[in-house]
Amino acid sequence: MGGVTRTNSVVILGGGPGGYEAALVAAHLGASVTVVDRDGIGGAAVLTDCVPSKTLIATADYLGGIETASDLGVHLEDHEGDVATETVAELDEINRRVRNLAAAQSADISARLQEVGVRVVPGTGRLASPSEVVVEGADGATETISADVVLLSTGATPRVLPSAQPDGERILTWQQIYELPEIPDKLIVVGSGVTGAELAQAYLGLGTDVTLISSRDLVLPGEDQDAAAVIEDVFRRRGMTVLNRSRMASAERRGDGVVVTLEDGREVEGSHVLIAVGAVPNTRDIGLEEVGVELSESGHIVTDRVSRTSVRGVYAAGDCTGVFALASVAAMQGRTAMAHALGDAVTPLRLSAVSANVFTDPEIATVGMSAADAADNSDVEAVMMPLSRNPRAKMLGIEEGFVKLFAYRGTGTLLGGVVVAPRASELIFPVAIAVQNRLSVDQVASTFTVYPSLTGTLAEAARRLHPLHGE
């Protein structure tokens, strides 16, 4: 297809990772781009989810590092030479930093959009037709924008239960928790998925008495089970109360605190409760049903591997699609959509090469094939190596964690991996490159690593898979 001209008009609903990345690609390809955004450029990922939560977690990790410094022979003293026995976190200052960082990131993205000529329209958009978007501003005024291509990137919001209505003070969603003026005395976290586990450990690290309510046998039920077992063990050893196989019936304020009632009748008392039981897509009341956009039973927009919906010229990206609730996937979906719509080279979304990370301490990073899938395939071999044997891990005082790799027996092609370690989000990248490019374990093993480094264990795990080729 030939070059794209400015006659191509693109309207994007939502300014999150899927929306703003799509806008940058579309502008680069010569399209006239309008982004309709209600909550602020960057979306939940920047303003209320990924950036704030990971900033909070980083603070808690830093605090934990100070507290464990004595294990490395470092002792903290006050000005009189007495050993410091306590570190204190000021939540108001922490949350102010969190909000400032989120705002700064949003401003940076907005400036970039402005540089490339993207028009940003504040307001709420809905489809009037596959080629028309009606925008309602905060003042009630409306504007109709014509479009050759529409991208839906409306995101998702925290799931709210009728029996646990958030009030923003004691009963909180993960979007509201950054408004707390001081550290909770006793925080009850309902839900042990990624968001619940991350924030539970973050507040534990800040000095809060944390109770985590999980309906499953282990925390992080969607993750590698060996990894989840490591994290739950860390939680318990650091003082968190974990209630497995427990399901919340209701949460209500009682006096100056809250009470969570479980389905078996038990009551858990705390000062605050964080409800982290998933999210629902923002797909209601934006005209999808009227124009024929297909939705799943859960309300997510159905898309193919190039982000097309069931309606010609209408694409979708991000959490509203239910593909993977990851900012990186949303961004890739948005970029893919614009490349396809505007005639550029397209690489369809390949979910088998998606890397993800749980920002607990230690982190859990994954890419490609899971352990469950590997166990069901006799042609796949796995190897798992503890980090405790790694010299760099010993130097850093790392006691928990492991590397796990999956590969085909015959060819040695690397299919996936799991890394449980501090900064596993960085360590997974070489594994992701190998999976994306279908490298063999021999190619990984023959690549030089720095000594000593944690990556040395990745190479060693790959070497251990070598003899299995001919089986």
Assign 3-class secondary structure to the chain. Answer: CCCCCCCCEEEEECCCHHHHHHHHHHHHCCCEEEEEECCCCCHHHHHCCHHHHHHHHHHHHHHHHHHCHHHHCCCCECCCCCECCCCCCCHHHHHHHHHHHHHHHHHHHHHHHHHCCCEEEECEEEEEECCEEEEECCCCCEEEEECCEEEECCCEEECCECCECCCCCCEEECCCHHHCCCCCCEEEEECCCHHHHHHHHHHHHCCCEEEEECCCCCCCCCCCHHHHHHHHHHHHHCCCEEECCCCEEEEEEECCEEEEEECCCCEEEECEEEECCCEEECCCCCCHHHHCCCECCCCCECCCCCCECCCCCEEECCHHHCCCCCHHHHHHHHHHHHHHHCCCCCCCCCHHHCEEEECCCCEEEEEECCHHHHHCCCCEEEEEEEHHHCHHHHHHCCCCCEEEEEEECCCCEEEEEEEEECCHHHHHHHHHHHHHCCCEHHHHHCCCCCCCCCHHHHHHHHHHHHHHCCC
- Residue 392: the pLDDT is 96
- Residue 39: the pLDDT is 86
Homologous superfamily of 9-49+95-157+280-349: FAD/NAD(P)-binding domain (3.50.50.60)
**Domain boundaries defined on the chain:** 9-49+95-157+280-349, 171-277, 353-465
- Residue 459: the pLDDT is 97
Tell me if 277 sits within 8 A of 199, measured CB to CB: no
Cα–Cα distance between 52 and 363 in angstroms, integer?
17
Tell me if 197 sits within 8 A of 231, measured CB to CB: yes
Write down the pTM of the prediction. Answer: 0.91
Class of domain 171-277: alpha beta
Domain 353-465 has CATH 3.40.50.1110: no
Cα–Cα distance between 247 and 293 in angstroms, integer?
35
Matching fold, domains 9-49+95-157+280-349 and 171-277: yes
- Residue 7: the pLDDT is 57
Mean pLDDT by 10-residue block, N- to C-terminus, for the chain (471 residues)? 61 97 97 95 86 86 75 74 71 87 94 97 96 93 96 96 95 92 95 96 94 96 96 96 97 96 97 96 96 97 98 98 94 97 93 94 96 93 96 93 95 96 96 97 96 96 76 48
Residue type, 146: S
- Residue 138: the pLDDT is 84
- Residue 52: the pLDDT is 85
- Residue 47: the pLDDT is 82
- Residue 83: the pLDDT is 67
CA distances for 197 relative to 117, 201, 311, angstroms: 40, 6, 38
- Residue 470: the pLDDT is 46
Cα–Cα distance between 252 and 223 in angstroms, integer?
30
Tell me if 343 sits within 8 A of 306, measured CB to CB: no
